[in-house]
Chains A and B, each alone.
Chain A
Amino acid sequence: MSTTSDLAVQVVEATPTQPWHKPRSEQRRDALVYLALAVVAYAIVMISGVAGPDGFALVFFVEVLLLTILRSRNIGKAKSTNAIVSTVIGAGAVVAFVPWMSIFVSLVTKGFHGLYVGYLFGDMRVTTPDDELNMGGVGHAIIGSMLMVLIATAITLPLGILSGVYLTEVRGRLTKVVRFVIQSMSGVPSIVAGLFIYTTVVTLTESFSGFAGALALSVLMLPTVARTSEEVLKLVPEDLRAASYALGARQWRSSLMVVLPTVRSGLTTAAILGVARVVGETAPLLLTALSNNAFKFNPFNGPIASMPMYVFGLLQIGTEYSIARAWSGSLVLMLIVLALFVAARRLGGKDKR
């Protein structure tokens, strides 16, 4: 609006401040205090029997807690409880976050040096457990995982979307039951899914195969896809459905031509999250797809490798280089999961207007 300048008679200078935040100087002082505490904690770890990063963390925590208690002596009971509990909650949160942060870090530090240019494109046909890390690769496992995940997606995406459509569009009598079953199904242990496919598909076809593995993964993937589809479809404004009905649309036309196209990218997100959920599953493949060492493009013909089974197999072998390869394979797998997540997030933001 250009009119504001006309209305303004005089310009008043003002600097935005946030007086409810601690002033800079105080923040700086606090940082110094914590640094000092860390140094003291380090010294204690060095000279006493307490050892390791866990020991350091414990000593540091005790110091901070003591400091908090000391500082809050004269501020009243409610405030001092608040300060102490806040410290404890902060520490608890750190402990809760450390393990998976540590996993990310370990994957990078331990997996990084096994990566070389040919790693992504090679297989393990002629690589022995004691060969150095410039041989062999994970390519066959990537292909195997891709084949299985593609088949699983082809099966679960339509079924998952239908479930979502049932819960949000059709809203039939079984809505509550279906929602409940989908939730419960997401808790089926992955090994049980593997056993189920083993007793049915593998026994019937008398062969382990990528297809059987894909079916086992589908059992685990379906609840994720169905739930995400439902969440996404719920975001479609009721107004759009009303508008299409007001135009004389039948329900099926409204669903197929208005509702589903509106959440196209959201449904892609559902598929991606489903893939991210199952791409690292080991247990079901242990009973259905097993593994192999060479490139294979036929998912219907005998055992086939996959990323998690590749890692799992190398861990079983247990030689120094095998374990290093297992870490590298894990790093690649984690990067794939990460990429899927970033993709899902990018797409997920698209539908929101």
Chain B
Amino acid sequence: MSQTGSISAPQNVPQKREMHVVYSTGDRIFRRIVTAGALTSLIVLALIGLFLLARGVEIFRDMGPKFITGTNWTAGSGDGIIPAEFSIGPMLAGTIVTSLIALFFAVPLSIAGALYMEFFAPAKIKSTLVSMLDLAAAIPSLFFGLWGVQVFSSMGERWAALTSHYLGWFPLFNNELEIFGRSPFIAGLVLAAMIVPIITSVSREVYSRTPRELVDSCHALGGTRWGAIRAVVLPFGRSGVVGGAMLGLGRALGETVAVYLLLNLVFKYNFNILESEGGNIASLIATKFGEATPYELKALLAAGFVLFLLTLTVNMAATAVVQRTAKAQS
């Protein structure tokens, strides 16, 4: 038994040896197949962008920046007397306005919903609520459109009328015609209802990762439930909620049928959100697609490309935020 003496840092530490996991031929083939499979999503995503751009590039060239900033969408008369002119400006504005309205209502409600489910709901109904929330997140957007038109819009119109009555002096809520149906306001509210489940579900998950001992220590210090939530849970979950909200925003920006059913497509910049005109890029595509001329079709593809870029940017930002939070918390 020779090795005695103190346990301290050894004197002569040898050089580290190369150490690799070596894969057999079978393994290498397997890993290649799997990698190829995993890369399909990357390729598909790239192809979507490339194809839409390639088909729409003629429009971008012909219209220039007016494609984004202009106000008209005219297929033209075909014989050149009335020239074709395509611009998604009003629709882009409509996309953003309806989505912002949706976000404005959905975020506070989702936070309340998530906090309630995680910290207030009795344990018995919590799991039921979570399952129902999952199901709600899977409700086809078509149903929100259907529900919006058939069930909600009468109530929404009343709210719009009240808002206009009391706040009509403010340009945003001005409505000269006193017709309140099919407005960006109502569409935005329905979109809010549509994205509440996804934001709630992301927020709840982030909140549920709050270290219990932090919450407990707040209680142990004599804090109230709200005190603990404000001091620990909300700061902890902030960036997760931001990520969830951006995921919701991405959904609202790209929504087609719900907006198509709820809004009259009118080509005009409309920032009076209570008036009955508007639209978004997705619903523009759905509306014009059926009887588009070949040239107009290219314009629709170009519009699709813009929408693709817009939502991709928002989603990538959201993903980055959510992944960073998850990493920081684990």
Contact = CB atoms under 8 A, between A and B. Distances in A.
Interface string B291-330: 0000000001100100110011011101110110000000
Contact of B113 (A96, A180, A193, A312): A96
A99 B190 CA distance: 9
Residue among A82, A161, A174, A177 with the most chain B CB within 10 A? A82
B193 A195 contact: no
Contacts of A178: 38-39, 41-42
B3 interface: no
A61 B302 CA distance: 48
A96 B110 contact: yes
A280 B141 CA distance: 8
Contact of B116 (A51, A93, A287): A93
A88 B151 contact: no
Interface in B144-172: 144-147, 149-152, 155, 158-159
Nearest to B44: A219
A7 to B, nearest CB: 33
Contacts of A78: 223-224, 227
A50 to B, nearest CB: 10
B254 A192 contact: yes
Nearest to A85: B226
Contacts of B112: 88-93, 95-96
Interface string B161-194: 0000000000000000000000000000000010
Interface stretch (B9-17, B28-36, B75-83, B264-272): B28-36
Interface stretch (A9-17, A103-111, A128-136, A236-244): A103-111
B116 A188 contact: no
Contact of A223 (B34, B41, B132, B197): B41
B39 A174 contact: yes
B41 A103 contact: no
Contacts of A191: 254, 256, 282, 285-286, 304, 307
A184 B319 contact: yes
B116 to A, nearest CB: 3
Interface in A39-95: 51-54, 78-79, 81-82, 85-86, 88-93, 95
A327 B42 contact: no
Given A92-B112, A100-B136, A159-B37, A187 B314 contact: yes
Contacts of A195: 52, 285, 300-301, 304
Contacts of A93: 109, 112-113, 115-117, 120
B41 A185 contact: yes
A252 B32 CA distance: 11
A345 interface: yes
Dominant SS among interface residues on chain A: helix
B58 interface: no
B169 to A, nearest CB: 21
A286 B307 contact: no
Contacts of B120: 86, 89-90, 93
Interface in B191-216: 193, 196-197, 200
A199 B143 contact: no
A30 B323 CA distance: 44
A106 B250 CA distance: 27
Interface string A170-197: 1010100111111111111111110110
Contacts, number: 273
Contacts of B307: 189, 191-192
B279 to A, nearest CB: 13
A315 B261 contact: yes
Contacts of A82: 224-227
Interface residues of B, number: 94
Given A92-B112, A170-B35, A282 B138 contact: no
Nearest to B110: A96
B40 interface: yes
A308 B140 contact: yes
Contacts of B140: 279-282, 308, 333, 337
Interface string A276-295: 11011111001100000000
A6 to B, nearest CB: 37
B47 A196 contact: yes
Contacts of A231: none
Interface in A95-126: 95-97, 99-100, 102-103, 106-107, 110
B27 A163 contact: no
Residue among B44, B227, B247, B300 with the most chain A CB within 10 A? B44
A165 interface: yes
Contact of B45 (A169, A188, A190, A253): A188
A99 B193 contact: yes
14 contacts: A52-B155, A54-B159, A78-B227, A89-B120, A159-B41, A174-B35, A177-B42, A189-B308, A191-B304, A192-B52, A192-B304, A196-B52, A286-B256, A327-B146
Interface of A: 51-54, 78-79, 81-82, 85-86, 88-93, 95-97, 99-100, 102-103, 106-107, 110, 158-159, 161-163, 165-167, 169-170, 172, 174, 177-193, 195-196, 199-200, 219, 222-223, 226, 250-253, 255, 276-277, 279-283, 286-287, 308, 311-312, 315, 323, 326-327, 330, 333-334, 337-338, 341, 345
Instruction: State the 6 A-B residue pairs at the shortest beta-carbon distance, nearest first.
Output: A280-B140, A189-B254, A92-B112, A162-B37, A187-B315, A252-B30
Given A181-B42, A283-B286, 4 more contacts: A100-B136, A187-B314, A250-B26, A311-B146
